[in-house]
């Protein structure tokens, strides 16, 4: 027993020599590539030496990065999405069908690519819009309305046949098919209405409505010539506290119920109307519901 122990004690000091030999062999042998690196055909990268104190000195400052524009960011995202989609497609072609998980990945990558392309397109269009804004030319002047001669003729006729103060305003309503619009003083409205019907042939009153502008009331008439199909709008303004406009029911029978409605809901009086009374609300109703200052006696009604 003592001899065996002596032999073991003599053999133990040789261990450091064996470890030194293994270390030398490991340093001499080249690094072995992994399976993935072997498939890719690339050699393993050598280990990078640790950064020295000079490289990471606190006094050194890195160069500032240039700011990335929206177009560059969108293009970068698009390229990354396309690369992911290409890698997914290549993996599917190499390994066959990968099941529902692989198809979901492909669909996700395609969606990301489409979204990135849309962002890039929006960024490009926005940049083009900003660039064009500085050089934008003013819109061309709109040509005169074909109804302008008719408007000027009516204004001249009314001022000559009725009164020079009869027409308060006149214009073409280009938002309503170039509608001829006249603003007539209420003191000259009845004579003007008779002139428009008997001399100009506006023999049909299509519509009559009242409007509360808070500062004043206004009655709007739409007159039509059944022969020529010409249409003209007439506005007559009146005081809000004592709203009153001469009735045209004797000239156009269609004004009958329309004037009664304006009287009932807005409180506009129409002197000369043959039967001016409420048409919608009860006779004992207090106030006029379409006036903007109307306050009901019973809020629940």
pTM of the model: 0.55
Distance CA 15, CA 23 (A): 13
Q: How confident is the model at residue 193 (pLDDT cuts 50, 70, 90)?
A: very high
Q: What is the pLDDT of residue 278?
A: 97
Task: Please check whether residue 235 lies inside any domain of the structure.
Answer: yes
Does 107 reside within a domain?
A: no
- For residues 16 and 228, which has the higher predicted lDDT (pLDDT)? 228
SS (H, E, C) 50-89: CCCCCCCCCCCCCCCCCCCCHHHHHHHHHHHHHHHHHHHH
Quick one: tokens of 2? 């003592």
> Would you say residue 24 lies in a domain?
no
Residue 34 lies in a domain: no
- Residue listed under structure tokens 């042998």: 29
Reported as a single tens digit per residue, the pLDDT across 38-75 is 444 444 454 555 554 444 444 444 545 555 677 777 77
In a domain, 185, yes or no: yes
The string of DSSP letters for 104-138 reads HHHHHHHHHHHHHHHHHHHHHHHHHHHHHHTTPPP
Span 110-138, average pLDDT: 72
pLDDT of residue 166: 98
Residue 171 covered by a domain: yes
236 burial class (0-12, 13-18, 19+ CB within 10 angstroms)? buried
Kindly state whether residue 260 falls inside one of the protein's structural domains.
Answer: no
Domain assignment of residue 172, given as a range = 148-244
If one counts the domains in the chain, the total is: 1
Residue 263 lies inside a defined structural domain of this protein: no
Where do runs of H (alpha helix) occur along 199-249? none
d(CA 181, CA 192): 14
**CATH number of residue 214's parent domain:** 3.30.460.80
- Size of the chain in residues: 301
């Amino acid at each position: 027993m003592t001899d065996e122990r002596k032999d073991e004690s003599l053999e133990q000091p040789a261990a450091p020599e064996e470890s030194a030999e293994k270390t030398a062999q490991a340093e001499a042998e080249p690094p072995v590539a992994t399976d993935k690196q072997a498939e890719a055909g690339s050699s393993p990268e050598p280990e990078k030496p640790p950064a020295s104190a000079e490289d990471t000195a606190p006094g050194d400052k890195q160069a500032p990065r240039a700011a990335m524009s929206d177009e560059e960011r969108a293009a970068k995202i698009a390229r990354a999405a396309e690369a992911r989609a290409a890698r997914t497609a290549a993996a599917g072609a190499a390994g066959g069908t990968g099941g529902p998980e692989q198809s979901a990945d492909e669909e996700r990558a395609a969606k990301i690519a489409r979204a990135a392309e849309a962002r890039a397109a929006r960024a490009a269009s926005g940049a083009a819009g900003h660039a064009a804004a500085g050089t934008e030319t003013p819109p061309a002047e709109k040509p005169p309305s074909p109804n302008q001669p008719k408007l000027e003729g009516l204004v001249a006729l009314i001022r000559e046949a009725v009164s020079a103060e009869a027409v308060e305003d006149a214009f073409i309503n280009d938002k309503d098919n170039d509608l001829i619009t006249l603003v007539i003083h209420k003191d000259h409205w009845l004579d003007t209405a008779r002139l428009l019907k008997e001399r100009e042939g506006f023999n049909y009153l299509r519509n009559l409505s009242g409007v509360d502008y808070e500062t004043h009331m206004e009655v709007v008439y739409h007159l039509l010539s059944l022969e020529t199909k010409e249409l003209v709008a007439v506005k007559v303004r009146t005081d809000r506290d004592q709203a009153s406009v001469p009735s045209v029911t004797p000239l156009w029978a269609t004004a009958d119920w329309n004037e009664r409605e304006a009287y009932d809901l807005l409180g506009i009086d129409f002197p000369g109307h043959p039967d001016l009374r409420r048409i919608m609300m009860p006779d004992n109703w207090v106030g006029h519901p379409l006036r903007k200052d109307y306050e009901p006696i019973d809020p629940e009604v």
